[in-house]
Amino acid sequence: MHFTGSAHSARSVLPKPVGSPEDVLVLKGGRPLQGIWRVDGAKNAALPLMVATLLTDGLVTLTNLPGILDVAVLAELLSSLGVEQHWSYAEIGLRATFAGVRVTGQPDPEGVRRMRASFLILGPLMARTGIATVALPGGDAIGSRPVDIHLDGLRALGAEIEMEHGLITARAPTGLKGARYTLGFPSVGATEHLVMTATLAEGRTELINCAREPEVTDLCRLLAAMGAKIDGIGTDRLTIHGGERLGGAVHRTIPDRIEAGTIIVAAAVSGGRVELRGPTLDDLGAAYSLLTATGVRLTEVEGGLIAEADASGLIGTDFVTQPYPGVATDLQPPLMALMLRAAGSARIDETLFENRFRHVDDLRRLGADITVRGRTALVRGVPRLTGAPVRGTDVRAASCLAIAGLMAEGETILEGLDHLDRGHAAFAERLAALGADVTRHGR
Ligand code: UD1
């Protein structure tokens, strides 16, 4: 397969897949954010969509892809497996065409360990070539994040699974067979993994207790466009009539509801007004009700929504993270930043991950008053925060600390930008365009 036209390699369009761990953001708080923020395509949709290109020898074109580090790492992994790619800048986001004509080999364990979503390669690669060996995944340090549901589900489809030296090998010597499988928990990744694999399993697969996150639905829509027969899209019960050859498709990635929520919070705590292009109020799920209860005004407009607030009128509001349509765990750190300056207190229960309060110590350095007991945090609003050096330990912790830095008096230096870059493209530049006092420095 050879591409023609103004082709770019992934490397020339995406950030370097190695990250910039030495870079820092220097933030000074106090300016109201004003202007337009175009919400990128969703990281958590883009990654599984890209993995799905392994399932076919047809051409799959994905649009509205975000130019983030995780996409760059996955593009390299897919390329090493023989998936040819043609990347270009589009009017909105990035556009890439994938051609997995000769899929062969195994993904580099180092690349897989850097990002949990790359574990999704295991099932599709096995289904396509008969065998796949993938390292146990890495990703954010937010909890133990086992893969038992992924592996049990693959076994139910007839895969033979072995683990040795931190590598998991899945084989399907006689092909995969459709099955009925109930997920022990509606895991986003396991649902995506099993739906993709089931499209190439012979016969009918019924997946029960599936995750219903919009990113899962986006993946199912791509698979359907590629010719997969899937019933129940958007529900917790997916039925896949598999085994037929999948073809090419053109698909647009949904907007990133987590980036949207993060910028809504940044606009609100600054007392500003930002128009977000891309998402609708529905995309926010239960976060909409929480944000409005806290005092954020959200209005849907043509092509997006407007977020504004009177920062001194915010009211601390309790919330619990839950699978969709509950409040997303990925929004918990930014929402905690929202509660820092709200009147009264807010109780936050984190039910998804056991280690997802790692931003709390750094928020305390800025003067936050937070008590953590197990998976519950109690945030009491304080009259002022003051800048200090802080470090983001995962994507969302980093964006939470950036927002807190924009609330604090004086200078906050945020380290850990390789985490921030995993999920957001040009975060500092885009915040600066809204009037924030933020600059990025290489060390
Ligand atoms: C995805 C998102 C991540 C988000 C999370 C929850 C991507 C690339 N990442 O991660 O940003 O925070 O959903 O919305 O989409 N679990 C098991 N066994 C398994 C799989 C999961 O016990 O085999 C547990 C996990 O430890 C966790 C819970 O299920 O406690 C939720 O995890 P899951 O929904 O699988 O999250 P990810 O797909 O890893």
Segments making up each domain of the chain, as ranges: 2-40+255-441, 43-252
- Phi/psi at 235 (nearest 5 deg)? -110, 180
| 145 CA distance to ligand 1 middle (Å) | 7
- Ligand 1, pocket-test mutation among 112, 152, 182, 185, most atoms within 8 A of CB: 185
Interval between CA 441 and ligand 1 midpoint (Å)? 33
Q: Measure 185 CA to ligand 1 centroid, in angstroms.
A: 9
Place of tokens 């990654």: 47
In ligand 1, the atom with minimum distance to the C-alpha of 152 is 23
β-pair type (34-38, 273-277): parallel
For ligand 1, atom 19, which residue shows the shortest CA distance?
Answer: 147
The alpha carbon of 379 and the centre of ligand 1 are apart by a number of angstroms equal to 25
Ligand 1: residue whose CA is nearest its atom 3: 330
Q: Are 214 and 283 in contact (CB under 8 A)?
A: yes
**E strands, 145-284, in order:** 160-164, 167-171, 180-182, 203-208, 229-231, 237-242, 249-252, 273-277
Rg, C-alpha atoms of the chain: 21
Give bridge partners of residue 237 from the DSSP assignment: 208
Residue 25 and residue 405 in contact, taking contact as beta carbons nearer than 8 Å: yes
Atom of ligand 1 nearest to the CA of 258: 11
CA of residue 329 to ligand 1 center, whole Å = 10
What pLDDT tens digit does each residue of the chain (443 aa) get? Answer: 445 445 578 888 887 777 788 899 999 999 999 999 999 999 999 999 999 999 999 999 999 999 999 999 999 999 999 999 999 998 889 999 999 999 999 999 888 888 889 999 999 999 999 999 999 876 455 555 789 999 999 999 999 999 998 899 999 988 999 999 999 999 999 999 999 999 999 999 999 999 999 999 999 999 999 999 999 999 999 999 998 899 999 999 999 999 999 999 999 999 999 999 999 999 999 999 999 999 999 999 999 999 999 999 999 999 999 999 999 999 999 999 999 989 999 999 999 988 889 999 999 999 999 999 999 999 999 999 999 999 999 999 999 999 999 999 999 999 989 899 999 999 999 999 999 999 999 86
Q: State which ligand 1 atom lies nearest to the alpha carbon of 70.
A: 8
Superfamily of domain 43-252: Enolpyruvate transferase domain (3.65.10.10)
Cα 423 to Cα 355: distance, rounded to the nearest angstrom: 19
Q: How many CB atoms lie within 10 A of CB 234?
A: 12
Q: How far is the CA of 277 from the centre of ligand 1 (A)?
A: 28
What is residue 24's three-state secondary structure? Answer: strand
Residue 264 backbone class (left: φ over 0; alpha: ψ -120 to 50; beta: rest): alpha
User: Which CATH code for domain 2-40+255-441?
Assistant: 3.65.10.10
Could you give the CA distance from residue 153 to residue 206 in angstroms, rounded to a whole number? 11
Report CA dihedral (128, 131, 133, 138) to the nearest 10 degrees: 40
Integer CA distances (angstroms), 27 to 4, 60, 146, 370, 405, in order: 44, 40, 36, 22, 6
* Contact residues of ligand 1, CB 6 A cut-off: 44, 47, 116-117, 143, 145-150, 185, 187-190, 211, 215, 328-330, 352-353
